[in-house]
Chain A
Amino acid sequence: DVKVTQSSRYLVKRTGEKVFLECVQDMDHENMFWYRQDPGLGLRLIYFSYDVKMKEKGDIPEGYSVSREKKERFSLILESASTNQTSMYLCASSWGQGGRGANVLTFGAGSRLTVL
Chain B
Amino acid sequence: GNSVTQMEGPVTLSEEAFLTINCTYTATGYPSLFWYVQYPGEGLQLLLKATKADDKGSNKGFEATYRKETTSFHLEKGSVQVSDSAVYFCALSTSGNTPLVFGKGTRLSVIA
A and B found bound together: yes
Chain A nearest CB, measured from B109 CB (Å)? 15
> What separation, in Å, do the CA atoms of A90 and B22 have in the docked complex?
24
Q: Is B74 located at the chain interface by the 8 A CB criterion? A: no
Interface size on A, residues (CB 8 A): 28
A sample of 7 inter-chain contacts (CB < 8 A) reads A33-B99, A35-B102, A99-B98, A99-B99, A102-B99, A107-B45, A109-B41
> What separation, in Å, do the CA atoms of A109 and B41 have in the docked complex?
7
Contact yes or no, B43 A102, CB < 8 A: no
Contact yes or no, B96 A96, CB < 8 A: yes
- Contacts from A to B (Cβ < 8 Å): 4, 33, 35, 40-45, 48, 50, 58, 90, 92, 96, 98-110
For chain B, which range describes its interface: under 10, 10 to 19, 20 to 34, or 35 or more residues?
A: 20 to 34
Residue among A48, A50, A103, A108 with most chain B CB within 10 A: A103
> What separation, in Å, do the CA atoms of A107 and B36 have in the docked complex?
10
Q: With contacts A43-B44, A96-B96, A102-B96 known, what are 10 further pairs, Cβ within 8 A?
A: A35-B102, A42-B103, A45-B99, A90-B44, A99-B98, A99-B99, A101-B96, A103-B100, A104-B49, A107-B44
Contact yes or no, B99 A58, CB < 8 A: yes
Q: Which residue of B lies closest to A56 (CB)?
A: B99
- List residues of chain B with CB within 8 A of the CB of A101: 96-97
Contact yes or no, A96 B97, CB < 8 A: yes
Q: Which residue of A lies closest to B100 (CB)?
A: A103
Q: Which residue of A lies closest to B97 (CB)?
A: A99
Contact yes or no, B104 A105, CB < 8 A: no
